[in-house]
């Protein structure tokens, strides 16, 4: 255990001297080899100086992260992407179109300076975040910042400061508490083939349609949603799992409602039901409501809202302490691809067809 300083920051006024002072202090800690949790637009990040092998090692220890799962390096400006990585033609097009963005590019390393973020690989994953607090913090630190999500390895990602505190209080130097994350899902991760086509290694808020529209040719690949053999090391681990076993229910609305009602009548389990707004009315008069915790992640057709609320819902089920969780199945188009991907991974691939 180490003493963790928990600092509230007013993200809307980070240029105020008071707020800047807090960020300067956190930036110093990063520069000097410490660990800082900070808000980004995707999820809260656990940052350390990516040039300092000891500092990066501390990230792995704090999270309990498998040592061969490489880290994303965050930079405060586009110039730094070029400083550390070989930017191909397509990559340049994508950088110009999107960055700063919830998008990570896996590129050839220019030299060995970022070796500790992706040991044994000749590539590095880089992202320039859009969130002003994150950008300012990284800029003030003056070093590239390796930052995975600020949660214990395998657990749901933190989309607010409270989630990050629960997992990392006592394991990091500072936790900067800002606003809830606007996007709520980790960045889209892409890599580039020698023919300049693009692989989507992890789906996210920037969709395959967004990339295609920007002129990227998406390589023919199996759907990133599947639990297929890992293409990048990070894809082989269980991820995002809530404490209780999670099952995704696939089928029509009526069958799902019948299934859930039967479940709560037949068992004394405390059941969690993760659903869309449209399902809520079916449970309004339920006598056994005490046995079920229903959390909606938004309207059925609002995929961005679902993205924003998914991890918060999984974290809430952990806080409530349910025995089993059933979830409806999100649509797989657009941002829904990423929501579906996170949910299926959180469920460890357990789908019940109804």
Task: Report CA Rg, the chain.
Answer: 20
Q: How far is the CB of 41 from Mg ion (least distance, A)?
A: 15
Which of the listed partners (Mg ion, ligand AMP, none) does 202 bind, with a CB threshold of 5 to 8 Å by partner kind?
Answer: ligand AMP
**Which of residues 70 and 148 has its CB atom nearest to Mg ion in the complex?**
148
Say whether 275 sits in a helix, a strand or coil.
Answer: strand
- Residue 321: CB atoms within 10 Å: 11
Q: How far apart are CA 310 and CA 275, in angstroms?
A: 10
Among 42, 131, 149, 327, binds Mg ion (CB under 5 A): 149
Q: Name residues contacting Mg ion, limited to 2-21 (CB under 5 A).
A: none
**Which of residues 39 and 148 has its CB atom nearest to Mg ion in the complex?**
148
Instruction: Tell me if 49 contacts Mg ion by CB under 5 A.
Output: no
**Which of residues 178 and 204 has its CB atom nearest to ligand AMP in the complex?**
204
Q: How far is the CB of 67 from ligand AMP (least distance, A)?
A: 12
Footprint of ligand AMP (CB under 6 A): 69-72, 106, 118, 121, 123-125, 148-149, 186, 189, 201-202, 232-235
- Does residue 135 contact residue 100 with C-beta atoms inside 8 Å? yes
Q: How far is the CB of 17 from ligand AMP (least distance, A)?
A: 33
Q: How far apart are CA 133 and CA 123, in angstroms?
A: 27
Q: How far is the CB of 354 from ligand AMP (least distance, A)?
A: 31
Which of the listed partners (ligand AMP, Mg ion, none) does 124 bind, with a CB threshold of 5 to 8 Å by partner kind?
Answer: ligand AMP
Q: How far apart are CA 203 and CA 186, in angstroms?
A: 9
- H-helix or E-strand spanning residue 232: none
Any residues with CB less than 8 A from the CB of 303 and at least 6 apart, and which? 330, 331, 333, 334, 335, 336, 339
Q: How far is the CB of 328 from Mg ion (least distance, A)?
A: 24
């Amino acid at each position: 255990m180490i003493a963790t300083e928990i600092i509230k920051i007013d993200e809307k006024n980070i240029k105020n001297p008071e707020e800047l002072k807090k960020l300067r202090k956190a930036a110093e800690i990063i520069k000097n080899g410490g660990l800082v949790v900070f808000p980004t637009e995707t999820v809260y990040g656990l940052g350390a100086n990516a040039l300092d092998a000891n500092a990066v090692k501390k990230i792995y220890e704090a999270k309990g992260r498998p040592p061969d799962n490489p880290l994303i390096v965050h930079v405060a400006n586009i110039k730094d992407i070029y400083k550390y990585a070989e930017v191909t033609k397509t990559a340049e097009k994508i950088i110009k179109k999107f960055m700063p963005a919830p998008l990570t590019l896996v590129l050839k390393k220019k030299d060995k300076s970022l070796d500790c973020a992706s040991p044994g690989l000749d590539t590095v994953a880089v992202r320039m975040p859009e969130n002003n607090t994150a950008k300012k913090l990284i800029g003030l630190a003056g070093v590239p910042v390796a930052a995975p999500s600020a949660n214990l390895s395998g657990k749901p990602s933190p989309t607010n400061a409270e989630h990050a505190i629960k997992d990392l209080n006592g394991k990091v130097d500072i936790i900067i508490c800002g606003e809830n994350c606007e996007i709520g899902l980790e960045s889209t991760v892409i890599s580039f083939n020698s023919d300049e086509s693009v692989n989507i290694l992890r789906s996210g808020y920037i969709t395959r349609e967004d990339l295609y529209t920007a002129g990227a040719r998406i390589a023919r690949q199996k759907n990133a949603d599947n639990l297929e053999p890992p293409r990048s090391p990070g894809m082989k681990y269980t991820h995002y799992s809530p404490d209780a076993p999670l099952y995704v229910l696939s089928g029509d609305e009526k069958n799902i409602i019948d299934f859930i009602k039967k479940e709560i009548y037949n068992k004394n389990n405390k059941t969690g039901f993760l659903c869309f707004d449209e399902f809520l009315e079916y449970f309004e008069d339920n006598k056994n409501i005490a046995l079920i915790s229903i959390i909606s992640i938004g309207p059925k057709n609002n995929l961005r809202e679902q993205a924003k609320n998914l991890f918060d819902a999984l974290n809430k089920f952990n806080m409530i302490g349910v025995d089993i969780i059933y979830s409806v199945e999100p649509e797989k188009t657009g941002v829904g691809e990423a929501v579906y991907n996170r949910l299926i991974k959180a469920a460890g691939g357990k789908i019940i067809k109804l």
